[in-house]
Amino acid sequence: MSIQVNAIRSLFPILHQEVNGYPLIYFDNAATTQKPQVVLDALTQYYEKDNSNIHRGAHTLADRATHKYEETRESVRALIGARESAEVIFTRGTTESINLVAKTFGSKFIQKGDEILISTLEHHSNIVPWQMLCEQTGAILKVIPITDAGELVMEEFEKLLSSKTKLISIVHASNALGTINPAKKIIDAAHAVGAKVLLDGAQSASHLEVDVQELDCDFFVFSAHKLYGPTGLGVLYGKRELLEAMPPFLGGGEMIREVTFEKTTYNTIPFKFEAGTPSIAEVIAFKPALDFITSTGKTNIHLHENDLLQYAAELLQDVKGIIPVGTAAEKIAVYSFTIKGMHPFDVGQLLDAKGIAVRTGHHCTQPLMHRLGLEGTVRASFAIYNTRAEVEVFAQALAKIASLKNK
């Protein structure tokens, strides 16, 4: 393993604390990751030294803030391999990015009778905006089924795809099960029938190499807070020709070229989609998070997290009562499971009592849980700063918990 986990851990102050009398083990990284000191420093420094509104060029502080804000846009462009930074739009998060596309691309290009494809694996934020759009337009939402292991049934996907399909909006990596979807195959098949593809990269952006040009996806969305960055900030990548053809999302300052009471003309991309004062501090503090990811290396991150996933699966495979949920061949480091005879919430509470933070419940994927016949699962999700020693403590704690109901 080429990464030095202890050196990495020392960059994250929050990890060095006790919870309920035990050293914190933070395994809720799919919900949000912790932030390195450089991100915290950048937030403080912005407010101490540079706080100013951007793109108004009035004075030195405004210039500094604008420059730093735009530097992050360039770093995001580099991270996802976009052709140009104008194709990178800052939003409040994955949820807002998807809603933006549903409202703008949707209102212009989706009509009655058109079909939108999603999958059983989707997060609510990649279901509800499309349902709302279908209600407004009379378009039809279709769902790609999954196998019991949590993989898309590709033959069914091909059957659902037709010239009526206008958009496929699909998760790149599942937050609930970890499944990595065959994005490139889906995109190529979609383009063959003239459909556009939105990839929900909320869970893939920090764990997998993503090159939007190579993938040829039309939209790619993710949230900064899952990439060691601040909350309240997301990204929408879109191909220039699509973003230019789409109407604006919110109206207000910054997104205009000229306003009269009779008519308003709009700014060029990306500003057309960034109405009002954005999350300036958060954007600026996202850059050191991106630098951290780049300097650590996505391949190293994926290898390390995958090692933890394999190790957890290995330690827990013979523990009586533990039932893994989601066993796709290609996964990010999400270990979802249930314990026979126990409610996931109770398992979460018992782990919390030992300082171990996991997620329990439906993970904002109620239709997926329904498909699996479950109310919810317990989910441990790993990040670059987690260790094999933590996995061992987790496995020991779980074995004890499982033994309460599984003799």
**Residue positions annotated with a catalytic role:** 364
Does residue number 175 form part of the binding site for ligand PMP (CB under 6 A)? yes
Does residue number 91 form part of the binding site for ligand PMP (CB under 6 A)? no
Does residue number 150 form part of the binding site for ligand PMP (CB under 6 A)? no
Give the residue, chosen from 171, 380, 384, 395, that forms a contact with ligand PMP under the rule CB under 6 A: 171
- Residue window 303-332: x/- pattern of binding to ligand PMP, with contact defined by CB under 6 A: ------------------------------
Does residue number 93 form part of the binding site for ligand PMP (CB under 6 A)? yes
Rule CB under 6 A: which of 328-367 touch ligand PMP? 364
Does residue number 95 form part of the binding site for ligand PMP (CB under 6 A)? yes
Only one of the segments 191-199, 200-208, 308-316, 332-340 lies at the binding site for ligand PMP (rule: CB under 6 A); that segment is: 200-208
Rule CB under 6 A: which of 215-234 touch ligand PMP? 223
Only one of the segments 92-100, 103-111, 315-323, 345-353 lies at the binding site for ligand PMP (rule: CB under 6 A); that segment is: 92-100
Least Å from the CB of residue 362 to ligand PMP: 11
Give the residue, chosen from 50, 115, 200, 305, that forms a contact with ligand PMP under the rule CB under 6 A: 200
In the bound state with ligand PMP, the residue whose beta carbon lies nearer, of 115 and 200, is 200
Only one of the segments 119-127, 133-141, 307-315, 316-324 lies at the binding site for ligand PMP (rule: CB under 6 A); that segment is: 119-127
Rule CB under 6 A: which of 240-279 touch ligand PMP? none
In the bound state with ligand PMP, the residue whose beta carbon lies nearer, of 202 and 328, is 202
Give the residue, chosen from 33, 66, 94, 386, that forms a contact with ligand PMP under the rule CB under 6 A: 94
Task: Kindly state the tokens that stand for 9.
Answer: 């851990």
Residues in contact with ligand PMP by the rule CB under 6 A: 93-95, 123, 125-126, 171, 175, 200, 202-203, 223, 364
